[in-house]
Chains A and B, each alone.
Chain A
């Protein structure tokens, strides 16, 4: 569970991510966001549950759909929104856009557009942690689509055999672009597949932020005790298309409505906090207003920020040591 303050912080972060994504979706349709943009609305509890269980200097590596992970990791709405608009004030100084948010110095080893690659990068980070003897863990995020690509299981195998402090989190929204996971996943049971490598593996409710937090906290303790990786299949749902602007109709409106109405992670936590007397309407309204103000400010900040200076085009391309 956690203290009242912790619970309210989790609720507010999920609300902030939701507002950020809905706002960014509209800006993308309007042509203000560069490159591909993948909306994470509906998947907030996975990101916020994981980050709530991590220490600030724990490391994450993520996927093409990474705004929720990045905001929950503590990056500001301003710097993430600015990066979506490829502005100089963005997380990646305007070089990365939506799919390449990250900052190694702050324990975020980046998103990327390669299916399953976040897992490999997370495994590498975990190896680095072990070699350095640091008391921290790495989380490798992977989607359900990444469950059927080879590099994912190479990374799980290596993390298991070397007992690396890695937590594998499947941010499982059940659709790889437009393909339903059951149509492409032999055996059908991801934890069973993972447990073949000899590590703890389970499916958790990715719409329940407290369940996600508890599972990750246990996995973290397990890793810090030198026992190696854990595999968590967090089942969740995305409310929008794979990418903004997608016109696909591979899911029924009833299915989407059911997840939105009956399993929404924000509604569920808010209802629980109301029922437990930890949240009242005035506090909730105040949170809603402060989230709206924060995202409005982030959009204004991003729109008014400068583009990167063309003179800096070689910045971060290499170390600079080989150039005259």
Chain B
């Protein structure tokens, strides 16, 4: 199971605004697929997954401010569950 999280992209970054979900629970994804768009103080950033699998539950709604490092969803390998 891969945790997809808000990456720390700058020295002073503490949280990000969750702008849009591009993949939804149950969607099949490949490594490198963009899962969500987030906004930092400086830029819009694509959050991608590193492994192929099935997207899990969305843990935050669009519009949420999410702390750096927080898991926003997971990518499940075949046979795995949350």
Q: Which A residues are within 8 Å of any B CB, using their own CB?
A: 28-33, 35-36, 244-247
Pairwise interchain contact A245-B69, C-beta atoms closer than 8 A: no
* B52 contacts A by Cβ under 8 Å: no
Judged by DSSP, the binding face of A is: loop
Q: In whole angstroms, what is the CA distance A202 to B67 when docked?
A: 48
Residue interface mask B63-79, A partner, CB < 8 A = 1: 00001110000000000
Count of A-B contacts with CB under 8 A? 28
Task: Write out the residue numbers on chain A whose beta carbons fall within 8 Å of the beta carbon of B62.
Answer: none
Most interface-central of B8, B13, B67 (chain A CB within 10 A): B8
Pairwise interchain contact B11-A247, C-beta atoms closer than 8 A: no
Instruction: Tell me which residues from 9 to 35 in chain B have a Cβ below 8 Å from any Cβ of chain A.
Output: 9-11, 13
Q: In whole angstroms, what is the CA distance A36 to B43 when docked?
A: 18
Q: List 21 A-B contacts (CB under 8 A).
A: A29-B5, A29-B7, A30-B5, A30-B7, A30-B68, A30-B69, A31-B6, A31-B8, A31-B67, A31-B68, A31-B69, A33-B8, A35-B11, A36-B11, A245-B7, A245-B8, A245-B10, A245-B13, A246-B9, A247-B9, A247-B45
Q: Which B residues are within 8 Å of any A CB, using their own CB?
A: 5-11, 13, 43, 45, 67-69
Task: Write out the residue numbers on chain B whose beta carbons fall within 8 Å of the beta carbon of A247.
Answer: 9, 43, 45
Q: In whole angstroms, what is the CA distance A246 to B5 when docked?
A: 16
Q: In whole angstroms, what is the CA distance A32 to B10 when docked?
A: 12
Q: In whole angstroms, what is the CA distance A35 to B8 when docked?
A: 10
Task: Write out the residue numbers on chain A whose beta carbons fall within 8 Å of the beta carbon of B67.
Answer: 31
Q: In whole angstroms, what is the CA distance A30 to B2 when docked?
A: 13
Task: Write out the residue numbers on chain B whose beta carbons fall within 8 Å of the beta carbon of A244.
Answer: 8
- Which chain B residue lies CB-closest to A246? B9
Pairwise interchain contact A245-B5, C-beta atoms closer than 8 A: no
Pairwise interchain contact B11-A28, C-beta atoms closer than 8 A: no
- Which chain A residue lies CB-closest to B6? A31
Task: Write out the residue numbers on chain B whose beta carbons fall within 8 Å of the beta carbon of A36.
Answer: 11
- Which chain A residue lies CB-closest to B8? A31
Task: Write out the residue numbers on chain A whose beta carbons fall within 8 Å of the beta carbon of B11.
Answer: 35-36
Q: In whole angstroms, what is the CA distance A31 to B68 when docked?
A: 6
A30-B9 contact in complex given A247-B43, A247-B45, C-beta closer than 8 Å: no
CB distance from B27 to the nearest CB of A (A): 23
Q: In whole angstroms, what is the CA distance A247 to B6 when docked?
A: 14
List 18 additional contacts besides A31-B69, A32-B69, A245-B7; criterion CB under 8 Å.
A29-B5, A29-B7, A30-B5, A30-B7, A30-B8, A30-B68, A31-B8, A31-B67, A31-B68, A33-B8, A36-B11, A244-B8, A245-B8, A245-B9, A245-B10, A246-B9, A247-B9, A247-B43
Task: Write out the residue numbers on chain B whose beta carbons fall within 8 Å of the beta carbon of A245.
Answer: 7-10, 13
Q: In whole angstroms, what is the CA distance A69 to B10 when docked?
A: 24
CB distance from B8 to the nearest CB of A (A): 4
CB distance from A64 to the nearest CB of B (A): 12
Task: Write out the residue numbers on chain A whose beta carbons fall within 8 Å of the beta carbon of B5.
Answer: 29-30
Task: Write out the residue numbers on chain B whose beta carbons fall within 8 Å of the beta carbon of A35.
Answer: 11
- Which chain A residue lies CB-closest to B70? A31
CB distance from B63 to the nearest CB of A (A): 21
Task: Write out the residue numbers on chain B whose beta carbons fall within 8 Å of the beta carbon of A28.
Answer: 8
- Which chain A residue lies CB-closest to B69? A31
